[in-house]
Amino acid sequence: MSTLISTVAAGFDVEKIRQDFPVLKQTIHGNPLVYLDSAATAQKPTAVVDAIRKFHEVDCANIHRGVHELSQRSTAAYEETRAKTKKFLNAKSVTELIFVRGTTEAINLVSSSWGRTNVKEGDEIVISAMEHHSNIVPWQMLCEEKGAKLRVIPMNDRGELILEEYEKLLNPRTRMVAVAHVSNALGTINPIRRMIEMAHRAGALVLIDGAQAAPHLKVDVQALDADFYTLSGHKICGPTGIGILYGKAKLLNAMPPYQGGGDMIRTVTFEKTTYNDLPYKFEAGTPNIAGGIGMGAALDYLNRIGLDQIAAYEHELLVYGTAQLEQIPGLRIIGTAREKAAVLSFVIEGIHPHDIGTVLDRQGIAVRTGHHCAQPVMDWFHIPATTRASLAFYNTSAEIDKLAAGLRKVKEIFS
Ligand code: PLP
């Protein structure tokens, strides 16, 4: 392997880690797979696959409702993930953690339940110019319904939010600030601690979209003083269709249920239903039990490696990758924030990102091309799309070298 891995502690053995990911062992179009699309979804270690298999083969039963052994086992395993998530995010209580399908559902839950009861005509919701569509559209829908106003924090050419402009947007009408911890399209790590403080001073609540932060950074919702924080299981090496909404208990307690059905009730008559306590009030119907258990195994796996180790290693990869890509003539990196996580988004003059992605795929290199569900970011940079290589702790500097070589080949073909 090449030049990298200097400051990372000797305990971080990427080749050993790669053995935990069977999917990485395959060839694509005759070349070893180079998976650089972890911001879309992270690969799953054997421990996660095994936990899901064990649930289906050994413990399979519905949860919270059976006295029999299998139901007891599956309930315990599912609820254990809630306890693990409490530790992972440093929440005060397990009652503050709601299982959802992922970040998209978490944001929709807050915009629907909290939004419908707390936002009225003339109120304002603040988002940022770099949000994923899932942190734009639900708020836009709420604003349309209520006659409220959506306001947008602008960014600079590096893809950093302009905090002086943010300050100006905050006022007594601001009800909610909803902002990404880490941008999926640019990799920018936003100064959310400071932004939360500023919002609170103005009397607004804050929802942090943590979809791209949870896989890369240690998160402490109490230290941040976040009112709501979201994560998607599939981006932290867990399965799809499961995620977490964290909310402060006093806010969640005051919010009406999001959906009605089984498990979220205490009593039901045709005249009146009373609701269950937190967190179950927000968890109607049979959940993704296997997904929840799989996510628990993913949290264990990440904790075994250590988020600090992951962040340090990925930072080195990012620095190395940035240097390699910058040497390619005509290539421009989109998103050059001073605080950045594992995303390399770029354009190459005269070559469409879809052509870049297709040629790279023939070499076994998986990248994402398009607007990355962040069309306003593309509009801001006056580009239709980018090619995005997103890194994870199982990537190597040798894979970055392959990406750089692959891009040189792209240039040869299209010049
Ligand atoms: N927010 C960000 C920053 C994302 O990157 C994504 C997914 O890519 C989402 C939200 C939506 O997450 P999910 O599709 O898991 O609900």
Residues 6+ apart with CB under 8 A from 405: none
Q: What is the pLDDT of residues 109-120, one digit of tens each?
A: 999 999 999 999
- The angle formed by the CA atoms of residues 360, 361 and 362, to the nearest 5 degrees, is 90
> How much distance in Å is there from the Cα of 341 to the middle of ligand 1?
15
> How much distance in Å is there from the Cα of 104 to the middle of ligand 1?
6
> How much distance in Å is there from the Cα of 4 to the middle of ligand 1?
30
Percent of the chain with pLDDT over 90: 96
Encode 309-325: b = buried (16+ Cβ within 10 Å), e = exposed.
bbbebbbbbbebbbebb
Q: Which pLDDT belongs to residue 10?
A: 56
Looking from the CA of residue 240, the nearest atom of ligand 1 is 15
Mean pLDDT of the residues in the chain: 96
pLDDT level of residue 2 (50, 70, 90 thresholds): very low
Paired sense of beta strands 365-366 and 34-35, if any: parallel
The reported pTM is 0.97
What residue has token string 């915009």?
Answer: 111
Q: What tokens does 207 get?
A: 């929802």
pLDDT level of residue 3 (50, 70, 90 thresholds): very low
Q: Which pLDDT belongs to residue 207?
A: 99
Beta strands in 257-370 (DSSP E): 265-268, 273-275, 331-333, 343-348, 365-366, 368-370
Q: Which pLDDT belongs to residue 66?
A: 84
Peptide bond into 22 cis (omega under 30): no
Q: What is the pLDDT of residues 241-282, one digit of tens each?
A: 999 999 999 999 999 999 999 999 999 999 999 999 999 999
Does the annotation mark 60 as catalytic?
Answer: no
Q: Please choose, from the candidates 305, 135, 284, 138, the residue with its C-alpha nearest in 3D space to the C-alpha of residue 216.
A: 305
Q: What tokens does 64 get?
A: 């919270």
- Which residue among 60, 143, 237, 373 is the active-site one? 373
Question: Burial level of 361, CB count in 10 A (0-12/13-18/19+)?
Answer: middle
pLDDT at 375 over 50: yes
What residue has token string 């299209």?
Answer: 414
pLDDT at 101 over 50: yes
> What is d(CA 279, CA 148) in angstroms, rounded to the nearest whole number?
29
Q: Which pLDDT belongs to residue 36?
A: 98
Q: How much is the average pLDDT of 188-199? A: 98
Residues 6+ apart with CB under 8 A from 391: 36, 38, 314, 317, 318, 321, 342, 343, 344
Which residues does ligand 1 sit against, CB inside 6 Å?
102-104, 132, 134-135, 180, 184, 209, 211-212, 232
Backbone φ and ψ of 383, nearest 5°? -135, 150
